Structure 1
Amino acid sequence: MTRIQRLGDLSEVRPSPSSDQFAGLGEGLGGTPVISPGDLVGGRVAERSLLRGLETVPNTLERFRVLPGDLVMVRQGAVGRIALVEERSRGWLYHSACVRIRPLREQVDPDYLVAYLAHPKVVDQLLAHANVGTVTTVTARMVEDLPVAVPPLAEQRLLAGALAEVDAQMETHRRSLARLAALRPALITHLLGGEVPGERLPIPAVAPETARRTARGPRPRRLS
């Protein structure tokens, strides 16, 4: 039987660390990666542009490390964007614009929870309580108070597995569409003999005398 519970009763919601502790972060640096809102893509943590810069993690940030099965949610800006932490991200930190959600696994399956919290209507519920100003913001308490529909664990895992299969099929179709999109213009070029007219327009040659006259401007007309 499905029950409704507060997210805070199903997980530990860790508020974000202070932004002051992330001064000097940037791409291409060394040190521990910091998960930022832009890294949360399709329910997973992407690795395209991770911020780094902390060669040594201070003790004040140790409690903000993530473990596999944790969820990282954006709390500032793109509120509600969420991702599940995988093994490859173990020990990373999360940015001050995010919160960490650590599910109590005896009550809720992480794969089910990340899918549930990403549902548009659930995100709308969160946004309905957000502080709207220059930047939309929610607090850890607002995240904790979010109601969650919780079926039995076995049903949660079945649903999470079905959603994973749908995601895999969607990814397959996305890749096929990307290949077809690249093939379409290439096919036209091939059928036209390897070059589209106007693709490489030659710059017309200009005689030196013509170029000098153009630079000087038109000659004044002689009055009769």
Structure 2
Amino acid sequence: MKVETLIGNLPDGWVYSTLGEVCRAGGGDIQTGPFGSQLHKSDYVPVGIPSVMPQNIGDNRICEDGIARIKPLDANRLTRYCVQPGDIVYSRRGDVEKRALVREPESGWLCGTGCLRVRLGKRGPDPRYTSFYLGHPSVREWIVRHAHGATMPNLNTSILSACPFVVPPPADQEAIASILSALDDKIELNRQTNATLEAMARALFKDWFVDFGPTRAKAEGRAPYLAPHLWELFPDALDDEDKPLGWEISTIGQEVQVIGGSTPSTKEPAFWGGCINWATPKDLSSLQTPVLLETARTITESGMEKISSGLLPIGSVLLSSRAPIGYLAVSEIPVAINQGFIAMVCQKRLSNLFVWLWTGENMEAILQKANGSTFQEISKSNFRPLPVVIASNTLHKAFDSIASPLYIKLAQNEQESRTLAQTRDLLLPKLMSGEIRLREAERVVEAVL
């Protein structure tokens, strides 16, 4: 295979090889994680050694949220599967082109079942450069094309070892890695900031509308912990239903417009590829921040006519209603949806921020209302009667005045991260092929950071 079929002609001094060859030359290897027979359900515990599964492989980073953990004793017998800084972890099935670079805090974790570990070795190429190279669109496409299985792609050590690999001189590796890492690091900082902002909004909602913290504090004679103008908005006692006096119980179906969606015929090309965003739960599955900015597929005006719920406005709250239930986001784009959603259009007493946080807080109650033999689904008719406690209009406005800036900043960070990721993905192939000089790339990065 000619090199130019993957990333174009090589600059002077760059060497063509394979991933397996550079790993062996560097003293590393490509290894499969433990198989299911080596780990049993009883080996997994709430607190233990993290084990990286396919669902934990994000955009060149390991996502710790929901990561599986195993007993330290079991981890000790599986030390050959440990990961160390500089390793790269792949999923063996499904989204096989996704990879994650192991960083310092992840040292000592396990490469879990369903994953592959690439170890470059001490004499191997720069791990950051390697991971970015493996994110090149042509390289990702090569991996997907060579994976086995039409329905569910499967990756193995032989396929990954044969993956074409380009080795620039060490100085170029370091420069490319540094330029792209500056963008990646800012994206990660935004993610961490957004996690904090979301936690703050959830904590505020829970205190005011779930725990009724200010009212309980007043009833018990405790000192105020909010500003005086906020403190005075809360009742002084709880009623017989254990909610603040004067607050009412309504249903979510009375307070928001609950909408479902549908799918235009996939056999009709005239319905697809237009300029209208069309969402499926998969569009929410990879979101690290609950903000929808784009969809993988679009439909035409003709396709839109086949969806009775029409185009939902910006600010609609989207909840995946099946396979699985629970993906949640606020749409920052006008969007049509498929049948895998419950959408909430908030044009009455409750803001979309309140509804977003209410939905997340009530996920257990939502799951209890689900049914289905093949897969669990929450229907609109089962969703609408779920109770929601309504405070005074003044208090709701006060809540929105605090929560809104948190959400706005969160959405701005997510939009910035999208721009940074687009810049990174634009620069990546140009740097790998030598089409753009390093100094030019540095100027592009400086302009967006």
TM-score w.r.t. the length of structure 1 is 0.73
Aligned to 1:3: 15
**Counterpart Cα distance in 2 of 1:159 and 1:144:** 23
One-letter code aligned to 1:65: C
Give me the CA root mean square deviation: 2.9
Aligned to 2:95: 78
**Counterpart Cα distance in 1 of 2:127 and 2:71:** 28
How far is the alpha carbon of 1:95 from its aligned partner?
A: 1.7
Q: Higher relative CO (CA 8 A, sep ≥ 6), structure 1 or 2?
A: 1
Is this contact kept in 2: 1:25–1:51, CA < 8 A?
no
Helix, strand or coil for the counterpart of 1:29?
A: strand
**Counterpart Cα distance in 1 of 2:63 and 2:75:** 25
Q: 1:48 aligned to 2:65?
A: yes
Is this contact kept in 2: 1:26–1:51, CA < 8 A?
no
**Counterpart Cα distance in 2 of 1:172 and 1:55:** 31
> Is 123-132 or 20-29 further displaced after alignment?
20-29
After the TM superposition, which residues 19-168 of structure 1 pair with which residues of structure 2 at under 5 Å, given as runs?
A: 19-24=36-41, 29-57=46-74, 60-168=77-185
Is this contact kept in 1: 2:75–2:110, CA < 8 A?
no
**Counterpart Cα distance in 1 of 2:31 and 2:18:** 15
Aligned residues, how many?
A: 187
**Counterpart Cα distance in 1 of 2:34 and 2:70:** 16
Is this contact kept in 1: 2:22–2:120, CA < 8 A?
yes
Is this contact kept in 2: 1:19–1:95, CA < 8 A?
no
Helix, strand or coil for the counterpart of 1:44?
A: coil
One-letter code aligned to 1:199: R
One-letter code aligned to 2:153: T
How far is the alpha carbon of 1:53 from its aligned partner?
A: 3.0
**Counterpart Cα distance in 2 of 1:122 and 1:13:** 17
One-letter code aligned to 2:19: L
**Counterpart Cα distance in 2 of 1:126 and 1:2:** 22
Among residues 320, 325, 348, which one is paired with 1:198 in the alignment?
Answer: 348
In structure 2, relative to structure 1, the CA distance for the partners of 1:25 and 1:153 (3 Å cut) is: farther
Is this contact kept in 2: 1:71–1:85, CA < 8 A?
yes
Runs of 4+ with deviation above 6 angstroms = 25-28, 172-176
**Counterpart Cα distance in 2 of 1:84 and 1:172:** 16
Is this contact kept in 2: 1:75–1:137, CA < 8 A?
yes
Aligned to 2:380: none
**Counterpart Cα distance in 2 of 1:28 and 1:59:** 15
Q: Please, which runs of 5 or more residues in structure 2 have no aligned partner?
A: 1-12, 24-28, 195-288, 293-313, 316-345, 351-449
Is this contact kept in 1: 2:44–2:71, CA < 8 A?
no
Is this contact kept in 2: 1:24–1:53, CA < 8 A?
no
> Is 111-120 or 38-47 further displaced after alignment?
38-47
How far is the alpha carbon of 1:26 from its aligned partner?
A: 8.8
**Counterpart Cα distance in 1 of 2:115 and 2:76:** 19
One-letter code aligned to 1:112: Y
Helix, strand or coil for the counterpart of 2:21?
A: helix
**Counterpart Cα distance in 2 of 1:124 and 1:19:** 28
Helix, strand or coil for the counterpart of 1:57?
A: helix
How far is the alpha carbon of 1:82 from its aligned partner?
A: 0.6
Q: Computing the radius of gyration over CA atoms, which structure comes out larger, 1 or 2?
A: 1
**Counterpart Cα distance in 1 of 2:143 and 2:348:** 53
Is this contact kept in 1: 2:88–2:119, CA < 8 A?
yes
How far is the alpha carbon of 1:34 from its aligned partner?
A: 0.5
Identity %: 28
Is this contact kept in 2: 1:2–1:150, CA < 8 A?
yes
One-letter code aligned to 2:179: A
In structure 2, relative to structure 1, the CA distance for the partners of 1:33 and 1:168 (3 Å cut) is: closer
Aligned to 2:197: none
**Counterpart Cα distance in 1 of 2:190 and 2:42:** 36
Helix, strand or coil for the counterpart of 1:131?
A: coil
In structure 2, relative to structure 1, the CA distance for the partners of 1:165 and 1:199 (3 Å cut) is: same
How far is the alpha carbon of 1:81 from its aligned partner?
A: 1.0
Q: Please, which runs of 5 or more residues in structure 1 have no aligned partner?
A: 186-195, 201-224
One-letter code aligned to 2:69: R
